[in-house]
Amino acid sequence: MAFRFTILPTELALEIIRVASLPSDEDATAPRPSYATALALSSVSHAMRSATMPHLLHSVILATSPQVLCFIDSILLQREFAAFASPLTLDYPLLVRRFWSNECWEPLMDDEPEYCINYGALYEVIRGVDSLGLNFRSLHLLYNGLTGPEADPVKDWKCRHVTFAGALPRWNPFKSTPGGIAFLSHITHLTLWIPTHDYPWLPAPPCDSPVPAWVADIPFSSFSDLSHLAFPLLSKLIPTTHKNNPLVFQVPTEMLAYVAPCPTEDFNPAIFGAWALGSDPLSHGVVVPFRTLPSCRIGNSELGWEFPFMWGESDDTWAELEAHQQK
């Protein structure tokens, strides 16, 4: 039976809009989360747009390079709207609270100015988010933002919770620039979703250790404010086929989470490395299972980490750790 949406109590109407605006992951085999419902709602009227866009922009998940460019274009468009006091103006730095990028194109030095990718436009948005997540394939947007002419990460970078994911961790670009060093020094909560294989240039961990060898390559000396660290344990579990699609498999994952003892004023983040690479790494932390498992199509080795980030898997790790401490 049809009814007029406008006759609903305001609080009920707003709650319906909020729930309908959440991205959909009903099809775990989809290449990216779907925002179709939120986009449709925002096109109904100015009032619906005003109610929908804060939910649509709260968690921005960019799964492909073209999506990154489209989002940059939308930021630049908002600058034009603001300059002309348009009623369509949205405060992206205020509304975007969680940001994820899975990949981005590398800008070329010899590009003509009109064809350059303006990754610096993203800086004003991501510098103040509550949680930033990046696949290592997407680091160029961060590098270029941190070194842009309008960036001053020492003074204006506010994001403290960072998640890195992907198969090839890269720290040297951060350690080699003042902006990168400032970025690392502001991080308090670091989550690493790195596949648990090891790298030939690193010493092998003890054969019975559940900690991957790449932990030894983390530049703990650069994380001066780090108080929370989480990374995956080496898993002996066999990937399982997704219940809805035999061509998709999921990887059971457990995280080992560490927290600095209180008080933290004199805490040296290098202690995390000593704990992880010591004889009993589990005794210093809490093992937290993944609730939203990363998945991948058979024949493709790249796991899809955007869905776990979208549903707050990294945030759940810290909540689980705090709950364990209160017991």
Rounded Cα distance, 162 and 62, in Å: 16
Closest to 224 in 3D by CA, of 182, 193, 191? 182
Question: What pLDDT, on a 0 to 100 scale, did the predictor assign at position 220?
Answer: 94
The 8-class DSSP code of residue 149 comes to T
Rounded Cα distance, 317 and 7, in Å: 41
Rounded Cα distance, 121 and 69, in Å: 10
Rounded Cα distance, 313 and 311, in Å: 6
Neighbour-count burial of 82, counting CB atoms closer than 10 A to its CB (0-12 exposed, 13-18 middle, 19+ buried): middle
Rounded Cα distance, 133 and 197, in Å: 21
Tens digit of each residue's pLDDT (9 = 90 or more) over 3-35: 677 777 888 878 888 887 777 655 444 555 667
Question: What pLDDT, on a 0 to 100 scale, did the predictor assign at position 306?
Answer: 84
Tens digit of each residue's pLDDT (9 = 90 or more) over 288-316: 988 877 766 555 556 778 888 988 888 88
pTM: predicted TM-score of the whole model, two decimal places: 0.86
Rounded Cα distance, 10 and 5, in Å: 10
For a pLDDT cut of 90, what percent of the chain falls above it?
36
Neighbour-count burial of 267, counting CB atoms closer than 10 A to its CB (0-12 exposed, 13-18 middle, 19+ buried): middle
Beta-sheet strands, E only, within 113-155? 131-135
pLDDT for residue 82 is more than 50: yes
Rounded Cα distance, 197 and 212, in Å: 7
Q: What is the DSSP string of 244-271?
A: TEEEEEE---EEEEEEPPSP-TT--THH
Closest to 127 in 3D by CA, of 99, 105, 106? 99
Question: How much is the CA Rg of the chain, to the nearest whole Å?
Answer: 21
Tens digit of each residue's pLDDT (9 = 90 or more) over 58-74: 999 998 899 999 999 99
Lookup result for tokens 């955007």: 306
